Amino acid sequence: MAKQKQNNTIFVHLLILFLSLSSLSVSATTVVSLLQNYGKPIFRSNFHTIYDTSNYGLLQLSNGLALTPQMGWNSWNFFACNINETVIKETADALISTGLAELGYVYVNIDDCWSSATRNSKGDLVPDRKTFPSGIKALADYVHRKGLKLGIYSDAGAFTCQVRPGSIFHETDDADLFASWGVDYLKYDNCFNLGIPPKKRYPPMRDALNETGRTIFYSICEWGVDDPALWAGKVGNSWRTTDDINDTWASMTTIADLNDKWAAYAGPGGWNDPDMLEVGNGGMTYQEYRAHFSIWALAKAPLLVGCDIRNMTAETREILTNKEVIAINQDSLGVQGRKVQVSGINDCSQVWAGPLSGSRLAVALWNRCSKVATITASWEALGLESGIHVSVRDLWQHKVINGDAVSSFSAQVDSHDSKLYIFTPSTASYSLK
Ligand SMILES: *[C@@H]1O[C@H](CO)[C@@H](O)[C@H](O)[C@H]1NC(C)=O
Ligand SMILES: *[C@@H]1O[C@H](CO)[C@@H](O)[C@H](O)[C@H]1NC(C)=O
Ligand SMILES: *[C@@H]1O[C@H](CO)[C@@H](O)[C@H](O)[C@H]1NC(C)=O
Ligand SMILES: *[C@@H]1O[C@H](CO)[C@@H](O)[C@H](O)[C@H]1NC(C)=O
C-alpha cells in the first residue's frame, strides 16, 4: 500500500519533470501556465500576484545545470582559512558515510585559501604547497571516484578576500586550469574589484568557463551589491543576494528577508543565493537551525552545508537529512517560496509559502517572536479558494496532521521555531460543492 503510493508519487514527479523539461525552451510564460495547468478552481485570482513568477529566469545561462538548487558542502563557514587536502578528503568521505551524498549533497566546495600567494612564472594559479601538496587534480579525482563533484573558489578582482591571486584579466587561463583539473563548480567572489561594476566583471568568467567545454557550475558571489537578480540570470547559475551570513539568529533572519525581495527572479537554471547554511555550527538553537533550514529549502536557496560534517551531532544530522524538506527545495517546479502573511509585534508571526508541483503548496509557520505563538495561515493569504479542503502534512513530524483543513490552518509554534508543511488541496471535495 505505502509502496504503491510511493510509486505513484514518483510517477507523478517524473511526469511533471518531463512536462516542465519539455516546456523549458518555450518561454518564461510557460511557468505561469504550468501553475494554472490544473484547471480546477483551487487557486484564487490573486495567486499569481502572491507568487509572482513574471521574471522567472528560465535556463537563461543554458549550461544545463541548476535545474534545481545546488546541494553540497562548502569549507568557509566552519573552517574559514584553516583548510587542507586532508580535511577536504575526510569531508568527502563523511558526505558518503553520513548518507548526505545519497540525499543530493554532492558538491564538495573548497572556498578561499587553497591557492599560493602568487602565481607561478607562467602566470598560473598554484595550490598552496603546504596545505594542498598533492594538488587540486588529485583531489578532484578523489571526490569523483566517490561519485561527488569538486568546487573551487576564485575572485572577480585583483585578489581574493584572503589576498590570494584573483582571476580578473586571467579568466581564460584560470578557467582552462580549473577545467584541466576536473573542477565542476566555481564560486566567484567580489573582493579587490578595482571599482569595476559586477556586470562587467562576471560575464568574462562565464564565457571562459563555457569555452573550456567542461560543464562547470557558476556561482556568482557579488554580495547583492548591484541587484544581481536583475541581470545575473544570463550570467550565472546562482547569485548571492546579500552580504555574508554569520552563525547568529540576527544574521539569518536579516538575510532571509533581504533575499525574499527577489523571489520572482529565481527559477530552473538560476537561483537567488542567501548564502551557505550555518546549521550545526553552534551559534543558534535547534529550533533556530530548523527554521533556517526550513526557510532556505522553501526559498529554493542552495543547500550548501557549512558545518564540520565529520563531526555532526544527531540533531544537526536530523535537520540536514530531512528528506521531505529537501524534496521541497528540489521540487521540479522551481518556484521560490516567499513571505505571504505577517502579524504580531514587529510582524514576528510569519507565514511563508510557495507553489510546488502537483498543485501543492509548501507552507512554513515561522515564529520570530520571543514567546510561543499560535500562527494562522489563511487560504486568502495563501492564494487558495476559501472552500478548498486541504490535507496538511508536517514535514518535521513526518505525518499528516490534518486531513481536511478548510479556510485556514493554525498551529502553535515555539519561539524562533518553524513548522513546515505540504498542503495538498483536494480537488475532489471541491467539485462536490
Ligand atoms: C588540516 O586541517 C584541519 C582542519 O583545520 C586540521 O585539524 C588539521 O590539523 C590539518 N592537517 C594538517 C596535516 O595540516
Ligand atoms: C556554452 O554555451 C552554449 C550557448 O549558451 C551552450 O549551448 C553550451 O551548452 C555551453 N557549454 C558549456 C560547456 O557550458
Ligand atoms: C552577524 O550579522 C549581523 C546581522 O547582519 C550583524 O549585526 C553582526 O554584526 C554580525 N556578526 C558578526 C560577528 O559578524
Ligand atoms: C566535535 O564537536 C563537538 C561539539 O559538538 C566539539 O566539542 C568537539 O571538539 C568536536 N570534535 C572534533 C574532533 O572536532
| pLDDT band, very low/low/confident/very high, at 60 (cuts 50, 70, 90) | confident
Alpha-carbon 199 to chain mean position: 23
Rounded to whole angstroms, how far apart are CA atoms 369 and 417?
A: 9
Q: How many Å lie between the centroid of ligand 1 and the Cα of residue 307?
A: 15
Residue 162 Cβ inside 6 Å of ligand 2? The answer reads: no
Q: Which residues contact 296 (CB under 8 A, 6 or more apart)?
A: 256, 274, 277, 303, 329
User: Whose alpha carbon is nearest atom 13 of ligand 4?
Assistant: 311
Q: What is the pLDDT of residue 35?
A: 53
Name the nearest CA neighbour of 362 among 408, 294, 428, 302.
Answer: 294
What pLDDT score was predicted for residue 36?
52
370 close to ligand 2 (CB < 6 Angstrom): no
Each residue's pLDDT tens digit, 228-275: 999 999 999 999 999 999 999 999 999 999 999 999 999 999 999 999
Q: Specify whether the backbone of 269 is left (phi greater than 0), alpha (psi in -120 to 50) or beta.
A: left
Is the predicted pLDDT of residue 31 greater than 60, yes or no? no
* Per-residue pLDDT, 29: 41
Predicted local distance difference test score (pLDDT) of residue 92: 98
Whose Cα sits closest to atom 13 in ligand 1? 86
| 86 Cα to the center of ligand 1, angstroms | 7
Question: From the CB of 210, is ligand 2 less than 6 Å away?
Answer: yes
Residue 18, pLDDT above cutoff 50 = no
Q: List the one residue out of 133, 67, 77, 146 whose CA is nearest residue 109.
A: 77
pLDDT at residue 342 greater than cutoff 80:
yes
Kindly give the number of the ligand 1 atom that is closest to the alpha carbon of 130. 14
What residues have CB less than 8 Å from 347, skipping those under 6 apart? none
pLDDT band at 54 (very low <50, low <70, confident <90, very high): confident
Which atom of ligand 3 lies at the shortest distance from residue 255's CA? 5
Q: Which ligand is nearest to the CA of 81?
A: 1
Known catalytic residues are: 189, 244
pLDDT above 60: residue 174 = yes
* Rg over CA atoms, the chain: 22
Cβ neighbours of residue 125 closer than 8 Å, sequence gap 6 or more = 115, 116, 119, 154, 165, 170, 174, 177
CA–centroid distance, 112 to ligand 3, in Å, is 20
Does 82 sit in the ligand 4 pocket, CB within 6 Å?
A: no
% the chain with pLDDT above 70: 89
Q: Which three cell numbers stand for residue 252?
A: 539569518
- Does the pLDDT at position 140 exceed 50? yes
- Which is more confident, 260 or 11? 260
- 60 Cβ closer than 6 Å to some ligand 2 atom: no
Q: Quickly state the pLDDT bin for 53 (edges 50, 70, 90).
A: confident
Locate the ligand 4 atom nearest the alpha carbon of residue 311 and give its number.
Answer: 1
Q: Could you tell me if residue 76 is left (phi over 0), alpha (psi between -120 and 50 degrees) or otherwise beta?
A: alpha
pTM of the model: 0.91
Separation of alpha carbons 250 and 254, rounded Å? 6
Is residue 338's pLDDT more than 70?
Answer: yes
**Residue ID of nearest Cα to ligand 4 atom 1:** 311
Mean pLDDT of 124-148: 98
Residue 48 has pLDDT above 90, yes or no: no
379 Cβ contact partners less than 8 Å away, ≥ 6 residues apart: 44, 385, 386, 388, 390, 406, 407, 408
24 pLDDT more than 70: no
Mean pLDDT of the chain, nearest integer: 91
Residue minimizing CA distance to atom 1 of ligand 2: 210
b/e burial code for range 137-146 (CB count within 10 A of at least 16 → b): eebbebbeee
Nearest ligand to the C-alpha atom of residue 255: 3
Q: Do 162 and 112 contact (CB within 8 A), yes or no? A: yes
Q: Which of 153-162, 287-296, 420-429 has the lowest mean pLDDT?
A: 420-429
Domains of the chain: 47-53+337-425 (2.60.40.1180), 71-330 (3.20.20.70)
Res. 98: pLDDT tops 50: yes
Tell me the pLDDT tens digit for each residue of 71-91.
999 999 999 999 999 999 999
The verdict on the CB of residue 311 being under 6 Å from ligand 2 is no
Distances (CA, A) of 94 to 91, 290, 307, 310, 313: 5, 22, 12, 5, 13
Q: Cα(64)–Cα(49) distance, rounded to whole angstroms?
A: 29
Residue identified by cell 514576528 is 348
> Which residue owns the Cα nearest ligand 4 atom 12?
311
Q: What is the pLDDT of residue 40?
A: 59
